[in-house]
Amino acid sequence: MTLQETLEKQIKQAIHTLYNADLETVEFQATRKDFEGDITVVVFPMLRVVKGNPVQIGEAIGNYLVEHVEEVTKFNVVKGFLNLVLSDAYFLNFFNGIEDFSEFGKLSGDKETIMVEYSSPNTNKPLHLGHIRNILLGYSVAEILKASGKKSYKTQIINDRGIHICKSMLAWERFGNGETPESTGLKGDKLVGNYYVKFDQEYKKEIAQLISEGLSEKEAKLKAPSLLEAQAMLLKWEAGDEEVVALWKKMNAWVYDGFDKTYASLGVNFDKLYYESNTYLLGKEVIKEGLSKNVFIQKEDGSIWCDLTEDGLDEKIVQRSDGTAVYMTQDIGTAIQRVKDYQDITGMIYTVGNEQDYHFKVLFLILKKLGYQWAEHLYHLSYGMVDLPSGKMKSREGTVVDADDLIYDMSQTAKKISEELGKIDEFSEDEKESLYQTIGLGALKYYILKVDPKKRILFNPEESVDFQGNTGPFIQYTYARIQSILRKATSLGIKEETLSVVEMHPKEKELIKQLQLFPETIQQAGAQYSPALVANYTYELVKSFNSFYQNVSILGADNEVEKSFRIQLSQAVSDVIKTSFGLLGIQVPNRM
């Protein structure tokens, strides 16, 4: 039985004994830092069953707990809040009871199996800053779910077909002169992305020309020769035209090679890849079945729709009049295929920006109407966009922040700041470059993941690499500082020993209280799909350690018992930092 469960049981008994009344629940909260106490009981809700002054009720419960619960040593009441002070022995027993803090907070078990989709790029452009938020969120959520006791699979759907792909292909045919990644020295995804931008430039010229000839802007956009050619190419692709399919395979292979290099740089992986070019066919089969079941309707022009107006939504097209698939077709097929491939799946999470909120409402509702029970357990992890000081990024105009460039720039920013601090002069060049990469990526990942997914982010690279404040490098530096302390302790021959009697310094107690919160933080982050909870917990833990470090001498403690305890406490903190940062996909350096 946990302490909170013991306290709840005794408080209910106190109310029954003192007031002949029965409480259903007891509300606890963390004690405010300006009051003495380790856990607070909220008295106000009890007034529903106990009539009287909340301060007097709190006093009575406090006296009862001091008498009946050995862990409670004293208390104070502030208005309707009963602040309980717990014994040093309680915190020491907790600390001694954790055999391995590097595994602390993690649960094993496979009651639920969640598939997490993230990244899911188009094969007409390289990954950019917006993709990075998506990738980091999805990867971290999958890791947190695993730590919380669930089983998780990581996946993506690669959008490798459609009009956008044909635009890049058409532009390369027209203007490429046989260029390849090898001949240009460019990553394949960047080369293909350049031709997506080139298509848009030529398309705009054609629109301007048609407008000058008397067409409206709307007509010009629909009748521009480049767009008509791209649409014709898509029809050829779906019909299996050998030349078009061969070009498609060649250019997609370039892109996949580029993506793999970016994923390796970010340190993320996938358990299964899905390709829209495969799943859209299954989606079209499902559309046929849905027509026969009257889930869908076919209009006079041959297009197929799902009428969701009775559900408060609109009509949604699921297949065009020319028989070609839309995104919804593919997403229906992909979801069904995943459940066939992984029959233990109990839920799916789609990590996709909030501009697609409506799309996923429609997708989930259609799957339910098609009769799939697992559709009740689908979740759209909707996140806000990432903005730059210069404004919103636009792929077709080439104004995006390329992911590879950003990773490199973050490393260079970390290099500049590290050199200014001058603390790594004795490092070899390889050690320095590895450290710059670790700090730069840590800064980028932490800056993005510390923000609640639903909130929009204004990304500031310089601010993210600051070695002070709520940043990745600040936490990494604290971890490295602890490793330095531990190395010194080893060189001094200080032994670890199980502790039975220690009079705790308030800062030691505060640090253990922070450690106690870690398992609950993992569970909350898993339930809310929010890496921000883990990130900000880690910052609070680090702040608590630094306050401890500044107020308490670790290696210069008065006696060997205290010294050993403080070293073990420091080790525990570093283990939890490493574990929590691992859940965010961030590495921690042993030296900085």
Domain 113-292+326-387 in CATH 3.30.559.10: no
Question: What is the mean pLDDT of the segment spanning 238-250?
Answer: 95
Count CB neighbours of 352 within 10 A.
Answer: 19
- Residue 421 confidence class, pLDDT cut points 50, 70, 90: confident
Q: Residue 338 in contact with residue 345, Cβ under 8 Å? A: yes
pLDDT given at position 40: 97
Question: What is the mean pLDDT of the segment spanning 570-588?
Answer: 98
> Is residue 283 classed as helix, strand or coil in its secondary structure?
helix
Q: Residue 80 in contact with residue 54, Cβ under 8 Å? A: yes
Does 105 score more than 50 pLDDT?
yes
Handedness of CA 444, 445, 446, 448 (dihedral sign): positive
pLDDT given at position 502: 66
pTM of the model: 0.91
Q: Residue 324 in contact with residue 355, Cβ under 8 Å? A: no
E strand segments, 266-369? 272-275, 297-298, 304-307, 315-319, 347-353
- Phi/psi for 524 (5° steps) reads -65, -45
Count CB neighbours of 435 within 10 A.
Answer: 22
> Is residue 558 classed as helix, strand or coil in its secondary structure?
coil
**Of residues 279, 267, 383, the one with CA closest to residue 330:** 279
- Residue 202 confidence class, pLDDT cut points 50, 70, 90: very high
Q: Residue for token digits 């600051």?
A: 466
Q: Residue 505 in contact with residue 552, Cβ under 8 Å? A: yes
Instruction: Dig out the tokens for 134 from the structure.
Output: 């998506």
Q: Taking the domain 3-86, which CATH number applies?
A: 3.30.1360.70
Highest mean pLDDT of the ranges 112-116, 385-389, 417-421: 112-116
Q: Residue 551 in contact with residue 137, Cβ under 8 Å? A: no
Any alpha helices (H) in 327-459, and if so which ranges?
327-341, 357-369, 403-421, 429-449
**Of residues 218, 140, 242, 7, the one with CA closest to residue 531:** 140
Q: Could you report the per-residue pLDDT of 423-447, keeping only the tens digit for each?
A: 777 888 899 999 999 999 999 999 9
Q: Residue 347 in contact with residue 372, Cβ under 8 Å? A: no
Q: Could you report the per-residue pLDDT of 128-181, keeping only the tens digit for each?
A: 888 999 999 999 999 999 999 999 999 999 999 889 999 999 999 999 999 999
What is the overall mean pLDDT for the chain?
A: 92
Percent of the chain with pLDDT over 70: 97
Question: HSE of 68 in the Cβ direction (CA atoms, 13 Å)?
Answer: 17
**Of residues 188, 252, 124, 583, the one with CA closest to residue 404:** 188
pLDDT given at position 498: 65
pLDDT given at position 395: 45
**Of residues 470, 451, 473, the one with CA closest to residue 531:** 451
> Is residue 489 classed as helix, strand or coil in its secondary structure?
helix
Instruction: Dig out the tokens for 195 from the structure.
Output: 């031709």
| Antiparallel, parallel or unpaired: β 347-353 and 378-383 | parallel
Separation of alpha carbons 101 and 240, rounded Å: 57
pLDDT given at position 196: 95
Does 283 score more than 90 pLDDT?
no
Helix axes 518-528, 531-551, angle to 10 degrees: 160
pLDDT given at position 100: 93
Task: Tell me 32's DSSP state.
Answer: P
Question: What is the mean pLDDT of the segment spanning 43-66?
Answer: 96
pLDDT given at position 393: 45
Q: Residue 196 in contact with residue 170, Cβ under 8 Å? A: no
Name residues whose C-beta falls within 8 Å of residue 55's C-beta, 6 or more positions apart in sequence. Answer: 77, 79, 80
pLDDT given at position 468: 87
Q: Could you report the per-residue pLDDT of 344-373, keeping only the tens digit for each?
A: 999 999 999 999 999 999 999 999 999 999
Domain topology for 403-583: Isoleucyl-tRNA Synthetase; Domain 1 (1.10.730)
Q: Could you report the per-residue pLDDT of 488-503, keeping only the tens digit for each?
A: 999 988 877 666 666 8
Of 39-53, 184-198, 207-221, 487-501, the one with minimum mean pLDDT is 487-501
H-helix or E-strand containing 543?
A: helix 531-551
- Residue 280 confidence class, pLDDT cut points 50, 70, 90: confident
Question: What is the mean pLDDT of the segment spanning 446-467?
Answer: 90
**Of residues 247, 224, 263, the one with CA closest to residue 119:** 263
Domain ranges for the chain, please list them. 3-86, 113-292+326-387, 403-583
Q: Residue 73 in contact with residue 66, Cβ under 8 Å? A: yes
Instruction: Dig out the tokens for 273 from the structure.
Output: 């890849």
